Amino acid sequence: MVVDPYQKREAKKYKNSIPSREYISSWLKKCQDLISQKKIERKFGIIHQEEKKALRRRLRAMERDGQIIYTKNRCYINPDNIKVVQGKVIGHKDGYGFLRIETSQDDLWLSSEQMKFCIHGDVILAYIVNSDRKGRNSAKFLKILKANDSLIVGRYFSKNKIKFVVPDDTRFNFKILIFSHRENISIGSIVVVKLKKHPTRNNKAEGLIVEVLGKEMGTNLAIDIALRKHSIPSFWSEDAQKQLSQISHKINLCDFKNRIDMRHIPFFTIDDEDARDFDDAVFCKKKNNSEEGWNLLVAIADVSYYVKPNTALDKAALERGTSVYFPSLVVPMLPEKISTDLCSLNPFKERLCLICEMNLSNTGELISYKHYEAVICSHGRFTYNEIFKIWNGDIFLRSKYKKFLKDIENLSYLQKVFNRDNISKKGIYFENIVAKFVLDSNLRIKNIYQDIRNDAHKFIESCMILANIASASFVQKYNHPVLFRNHNPPKKNNIVTFRSFLKELGLSLLGGEIPESIHYSNLLKNISNRPEYEMIQTILLRSMQQAVYSPNNCGHFGLSLYSYVHFTSPIRRYPDLVLHRVIKCLLSEKKSLSYKDCDSCLYNIFEMKKIGQHCSMTERRADEANRDVIDWLKCDFMYKKIGDIFTGVISNVTSFGFFVRLNQFFIEGLVRIASLEDDYYYFDALGLKLIGKSNKNTYCLGDILKVKVYSVNLNERKIELSLI
C-alpha cells in the first residue's frame, strides 16, 4: 500500500493538535459531569474531520485502558468522579430491578427507567448515586459488560399476525417478537427462545424459537422448564460418554493397590427411603476398657479414583457443580454408572473409599483423626426409620437384623453421647418443618406429610460434621488451597431488625453489637417450649447469610467453627471431589509415594477461587430450580381445592399482605392486604405485623386462623387465600 507523504504530514499535524490523555482526563475530572464528544471538540477547538477522527481514536484508547468511561448516552466521564461498580442485574416483574455486586452485602436499586438499558442476567457497569427517600442506594447504568445470552422459556402467542413469546420468568419484564419459527407451533405452547436483539428504550426484544417443550403442563414439563430457565446442563457430551465407556463395570484386584482392606468391617449406609445414591457408610465401636471414648469410621466413595482432573467427565461435573434433586427426577453431577453403581456403597458390593477415622472422647469430642484409602463392603443398607425403630426395640426388625444388632446398638450408644453433648456445642441447630410429597402414577402430588427428623438422622449428620471438621483440620496443616464452606455472621442491620422483633415479644438476644453463635443457640434453647418458637426460629433463619465456598477461610458461624469443609458427598458436590483430590495428594506426599495425578490435583489459589464462586452459584441455581418445580406441584395440588376451607398459621408478613401456611399440607398461600375490607391496614416492619388503623386489629407471625383457597395461578406459581 502506497501512502501519500502529504497525508502522513496532515495526520501527524492533527495528532499533535489533539490534547494529551492526561489533559483530557484532568479536564473531565474538573467537569464532574457527563460530557459528549461535541463538547470536548468545542472545548479544544477541534473543527476538521481528521482532527475529530483522531480525537475519537484517542478517546476510545482511553476508554479501553480505563482512563475514562463511555456511557449509554454517548458521553464520557472520568471514573474518579463517580463510584463505579460492576454487578449482575436482577430483574423484577414490576419493571424495576437490582444490581448484585460480589463485593457488597447489599444490592443496589435499579429504577424502571434504568432497566430500559439492560435485562435480567446482564453483567453491567454502573455508578452509585445517593440514597433515595426510602433509604436505598441506587445504581445508574453505564454500559453492558456481558449481555445475558442464556435461553429464555416462555409461552408462544399470536395477535393480529404478530407472533411473540411471553417469558415464564417474570424477571424478564418484556415480550419477545418472533419473526422466524416453525409453522406448526400451536398457540399457548411452551417454547425456548434465543434472544437475537435485546430490548431497548425504543425497540422491542426479538428472538428465535430453538425448542418446543410442550403445551400441557405436567411435572416433567415443569422440570424441563426449570432446567432451561436456570441453564442447568442435563445431557452428557460425546467426550464424556466416550470416557465413561472406557471405565470398567467391575472392580479389579489391581484397584486395591495401596489400599487397606476393610471388607470385613460391618459398615452400614443409613439414608432416606427414597435415596438414590449411597456415598457414605459408618462404623463405630467403644474403645478397649483401658481406654476411654469411641472409634468412629466414616467411609466416603472414592469418586476421585474414577474422575481424573481435566478430563471430559471432570469438566462436565464442574459445569454442573452439584446434583439437582427434583421430586420425581435427579439430574446427577456424574453419570449413573458412577453415581449409582461404581461409587454408590451398595450392600455386599466391594467399593473403593476414602476413610476418615476418628478417635472421640466419652463426650464425643474429636481427639485425633487420620485419612487413608481403603476398600470396603457395606454389610447393610438401612433407612433412618429402620435404625430408629431398632434402637427403640422393634421386635420384627431386631429379629431380621439379629447378626448386626451389636454394631447397630454401638451406633445408638454413640448417638446418646451426641445428644447429650452436641458436636459443636456453641452451634445453632434448627428444627424446620420439611414437607415430603407422595406422587401418583402421573407424577402429581397424591399426599403430603411432614418429614420428622429422628435420632438416626441426627446421628448421621453428627458423623458427617465430625468428618468435615477433621478434614478441614488436616488440609489446614499443609496450608494448601482448598474450598472452605464459609458461613459469615449476620449483617448488622439484620441483627438490629431481629432484636427489634424480639423486643416486641418481650425477649432479647445477648452478645452486644456482634452476638456470637452461642447467643443465638441459647436463645433457641430458652424459648423451646414457647408457642412462638417456630416463628422466632423462622425469623432468625431469615436473618442469617447464605453459606458459600471460598479458599479464604472465614469460619462457619452457624456451626460456630473456625474452619469447615465439605468432605462427605463427592458424588453430588464438586467441592467435595476437589477436597478428596487434595487430601490424596497430601497423603501421598506424606508417605513419600509417587502419585501420578498429584501435580494436577493440587490447585492454586486463583483456580480455587474460581471453582468456589462457580460452585456457590450452581448450588443456588439447583435450589431455585427445585423450588420452581415444587411450587408448580403445590399449585397443581391446590388447584383442585379452590373454595375449600383450611386452618393455617401466619408464616410471613409483608407490606402487601401475609402468608399463611396450611396446617394440613404445609403449603403457603397469600392473603392480600387489599382483601382485608374491615379496615385500612398498615405494615409494621419492626413488629412484622399488619395493624388496622381504626379497630387496631392485628395480623402477626404465628397467628392461627381459618382461610379459604381463593385462587391458584399455575403459570405464576401463586396461591391466594381469603379470610373466613
Q: Which of 36, 70, 104 is the last residue of a domain?
A: 70
Task: List, for residues 30-40, the tens digit of each pLDDT value.
Answer: 776 677 888 88
Is there a domain that residue 233 lies in? no
Highest mean pLDDT among 37-51, 108-122, 129-143: 108-122
* Same domain (yes/no): 478, 387: yes
**Phi, psi values for residue 97, rounded to 5°:** -165, -170
In this prediction, what percent of the chain has a pLDDT beyond 90?
Answer: 58
* Same domain (yes/no): 432, 565: yes
CA distance 686 to 335: 49
* Same domain (yes/no): 142, 156: no
Is there a domain that residue 223 lies in? no
SS3 82: coil
Is there a domain that residue 76 lies in? no
Residue 325 pLDDT exceeds 60: yes
* Same domain (yes/no): 264, 325: yes
Task: List, for residues 383-396, the tens digit of each pLDDT value.
Answer: 999 999 999 999 99
Residue 2 pLDDT exceeds 60: no
Read off the pLDDT band of 105 (50, 70, 90): low
* Same domain (yes/no): 252, 395: yes
* Same domain (yes/no): 248, 351: yes
Calculated CA dihedral for residues 312, 318, 320, 324, nearest 10 degrees: 120
In this prediction, what percent of the chain has a pLDDT beyond 70?
Answer: 92
Task: List, for residues 466-493, the tens digit of each pLDDT value.
Answer: 999 999 999 999 888 999 999 999 988 8
Name the residue with higher pLDDT: 350 or 480. Answer: 350
- Confidence at residue 410, expressed as pLDDT on a 0 to 100 scale: 95
* Same domain (yes/no): 334, 474: yes
Is there a domain that residue 257 lies in? yes
Q: Which of 93, 114, 146 is the last residue of a domain?
A: 146
Residue 35 β-bridge partners: 76
* Same domain (yes/no): 411, 299: yes
Read off the pLDDT band of 10 (50, 70, 90): very low
Contacts of 97 (CB under 8 A, 6+ apart): 89, 90, 91, 110, 114, 115, 118, 120, 171
Residue 658: CATH number of its domain: 2.40.50.140
How much is the average pLDDT of 418-425? 74
- Confidence at residue 78, expressed as pLDDT on a 0 to 100 scale: 75
CA distance 21 to 38: 17
Read off the pLDDT band of 601 (50, 70, 90): low
How much is the average pLDDT of 547-559? 94
* Same domain (yes/no): 520, 607: no
Residue 396 backbone zone (phi > 0: left; psi -120 to 50: alpha; other: beta):
alpha
Name the residue with higher pLDDT: 317 or 256. Answer: 317
Is there a domain that residue 349 lies in? yes
* Same domain (yes/no): 204, 282: no
Is there a domain that residue 710 lies in? yes
Is there a domain that residue 232 lies in? no
Cα–Cα distances in Å, from 203 out to 90, 143, 178, 199? 21, 17, 14, 6
CA distance 143 to 152: 22
- Confidence at residue 593, expressed as pLDDT on a 0 to 100 scale: 43
Read off the pLDDT band of 5 (50, 70, 90): very low
CA 269 to chain centre: 27
Least confident of 112-116, 379-383, 660-664: 112-116
Read off the pLDDT band of 346 (50, 70, 90): very high
How much is the average pLDDT of 55-76? 79
* Same domain (yes/no): 316, 383: yes
Is there a domain that residue 99 lies in? yes
Residue 132 pLDDT exceeds 70: no
**What mean pLDDT is reported for the chain?**
88
Identify the domain containing residue 691 by its residue range. 641-723
* Same domain (yes/no): 500, 473: no
Q: Which of 598, 628, 658 is the last residue of a domain?
A: 628
Task: Tell me how many domains the chain contains.
Answer: 6
